[in-house]
């Protein structure tokens, strides 16, 4: 595999063409941003750590029957991934009330609802990725009702698997955000990272936050905490 020119650069990742038109290299950056770029920093080794964590989680999902874009980790901060047609929605899966849900509905963080909550958002950062529902998604021509039910079914399976894995690491998966793509045969594929940048992870023993909220809320030790998540996941997968 040969890495070729840069195709796209986002806030925390770069995507490069390769000599195989079906594959790209995704590179994880040390940059960290929040609140739509209002808050920015650079965390030493964050790219390596989020690549490490995301590679472990996506490899584990692949091994457990979830179709993902992830093929293999190629080096410290790079992953070889399948090219997919991106679906411009975000699915947020919530096991515990926190973040924007707590704020929007005036609920306390930490409440555990009986059911899993699935939010659907339109991926339009200029609009603040607004919350939409299934009917909006169909009306906007983004997905069919059949695809939406597959999307939620996959999200629920991903949630069960990721929760089980993090349980072994002594960590509660509070919530996470995922995005999907369509493979060449039209099937839906998980096409995103799953790392402390895109999940809320709480230490089961201490309740300590082990995710990007450390950065959003100025709690400090961002890199050290990501390192601890990586270490615990490596042990959980042994
Ligand atoms: P929220 O509480 O801000 O709605 O976020 C819920 C979860 O989704 C949290 O783990 C952070 C993650 N997330 C992203 O990774 N990217 C996003 O653009 C948003 C809105 C949330
Ligand atoms: N959508 C938010 C942003 O782009 C996500 C976050 O705060 O992590 O900043």
Give residue 140's pLDDT.
98
pLDDT confidence bin for 60, thresholds 50/70/90? very high
Give residue 178's pLDDT.
98
Give residue 108's pLDDT.
98
User: What's the rounded mean pLDDT across residues 157-182?
Assistant: 98
Ligand 1 neighbour 95 (Cβ under 6 A): no
Do residues 179 and 90 lie in contact, with contact meaning Cβ atoms separated by under 8 Å?
yes
Do residues 13 and 27 lie in contact, with contact meaning Cβ atoms separated by under 8 Å?
yes
Q: What is the pLDDT of residues 104-122, one digit of tens each?
A: 999 999 999 999 999 999 9
Do residues 28 and 47 lie in contact, with contact meaning Cβ atoms separated by under 8 Å?
yes
User: What's the rounded mean pLDDT across residues 120-128?
Assistant: 97
Question: With pLDDT > 70 as the criterion, what percentage of the chain qualifies?
Answer: 100
| pTM for this prediction | 0.97
Ligand 2 neighbour 177 (Cβ under 6 A): no
Residues 6 or more apart whose CB falls under 8 angstroms from that of 163 comprise 95, 173
Average pLDDT for the chain: 98
Do residues 222 and 46 lie in contact, with contact meaning Cβ atoms separated by under 8 Å?
yes
Which ligand is closest in space to the CA of residue 211?
Answer: 1
Give residue 149's pLDDT.
98
Structure tokens at 155: 């999200």
Structure tokens at 165: 């894995």
Ligand 2 neighbour 100 (Cβ under 6 A): no
Helical H segments across the chain, by residue range: 46-63, 99-104, 134-139, 145-168, 213-216, 222-236
Give residue 204's pLDDT.
98
Which residue is closest in CA terms to ligand 2's atom 6? 34
Give residue 228's pLDDT.
98
User: What's the rounded mean pLDDT across residues 160-189?
Assistant: 98
Residue 214, φ and ψ in degrees, nearest 5: -60, -35
Q: Give the SS3 label for residue 75.
A: strand
Ligand 1 neighbour 177 (Cβ under 6 A): yes
pLDDT confidence bin for 195, thresholds 50/70/90? very high
Which ligand is closest in space to the CA of residue 215?
Answer: 2
Do residues 202 and 193 lie in contact, with contact meaning Cβ atoms separated by under 8 Å?
no
Give residue 223's pLDDT.
98
The candidate with the shortest Cα–Cα distance to 13, out of 217, 230, 192, 224, is: 192
Give residue 171's pLDDT.
99
User: What's the rounded mean pLDDT across residues 140-144?
Assistant: 98
Q: SS3 sequence, 202-223?
A: EECCCCCECCCHHHHCCCCCHH
Give residue 67's pLDDT.
98
């Amino acid at each position: 595999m040969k890495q070729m020119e840069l195709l796209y650069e986002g806030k925390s990742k770069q995507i490069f063409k390769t000599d195989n038109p079906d594959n790209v290299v995704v590179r994880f950056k040390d940059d960290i941003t929040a609140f739509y770029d209002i808050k920015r920093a650079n965390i030493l080794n964050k790219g390596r750590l989020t690549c490490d964590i995301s590679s472990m989680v996506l490899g584990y999902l692949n091994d457990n029957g979830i179709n993902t874009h992830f093929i293999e980790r190629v080096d410290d901060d790079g992953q070889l991934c399948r090219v997919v047609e991106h679906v411009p929605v975000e699915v947020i899966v919530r096991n515990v009330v926190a973040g924007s849900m707590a704020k929007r509905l005036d609920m306390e963080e930490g409440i555990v609802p009986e059911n899993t909550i699935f939010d659907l958002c339109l991926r339009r950062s200029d609009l603040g990725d607004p919350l939409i529902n299934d009917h909006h998604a169909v009306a906007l021509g983004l997905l069919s009702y059949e695809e939406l039910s597959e999307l939620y079914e996959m999200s629920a399976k991903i949630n069960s698997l990721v929760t089980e894995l993090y349980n072994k690491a002594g960590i509660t998966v509070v919530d996470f955000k995922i995005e999907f793509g369509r493979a060449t045969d039209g099937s839906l594929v998980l096409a995103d990272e799953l790392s402390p940048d895109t999940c809320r992870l709480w230490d089961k023993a201490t309740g300590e936050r082990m995710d990007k909220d450390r950065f959003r809320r100025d709690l400090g030790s961002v890199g050290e905490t990501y390192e601890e998540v990586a270490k615990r996941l490596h042990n959980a997968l042994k």
